Amino acid sequence: MTNYPHPFFAREGWPFIAGSFAIAILVSIFASWTWSILFWIIAFFILQFFRDPPRIVPQISNAIVSPADGRIVAVENTHDPYLNRDAIKISVFMNIFNVHSNRSPVDGEVHNKWYFPGKFINASLPKASLENERNALWIKTNNDLDITCVQIAGLIAKRIVCHTKIGEHLTRGQRFGFIRFGSRVDVYLPLNTKIRVNIGDKVQATLSILAELTP
């Protein structure tokens, strides 16, 4: 899969952006500016939600970059339910004002992919990792290390988009998906990974380094 060409706004949002602005314009024409204010506010909110700015990939070969913009809500030793192993989990919670484009945390090949329907509870809660709708990728790095990256729907997120397929090679910072309107991304890492973030830290997709892999 290659990075899809697009302007500053993610292609997943183009229909929503076009539709919201069309409605705002029609209300302005056939009603009044007073009646249209709410529709313009909604249109500009949708516009900012789907922004997808370019990002520069850190030139550190063993870096694990953040797959999403947001706030770190978990850094813990736990069980990786997808690869059935002990692992370190780092969770990034995205609120409605964060960029929601998801990017690969590492260079590697997608060895497997799982989708699970589920609930839509607040994505900042720990139980969201196993109870909410989610899509998981098993990425094997070029150094043969296993990374699990999980897109998790949130309280008002109703659509997880994942463009990548099994067997495709991802590069760090490459866009692979999108979650609409509030969500979370979990990353499960090997136990000997050197962690670079703490709970409460704000991170940006691709720009922020979550951890460093050790051979």
Q: Which residues are annotated as catalytic?
A: 183
Task: Note the maximum CA span of the chain.
Answer: 64
Q: Which of 108, 56, 98 is CA-nearest to residue 203? A: 98
Give Cα 142 distance to the centre of its chain. 22
Residue type, 131: E
Q: Concatenated DSSP letters for 11-71? A: GGGHHHHHHHHHHHHHHHHHS-HHHHHHHHHHHHHHHHHTB----PPP--TTEEE-SSSEE
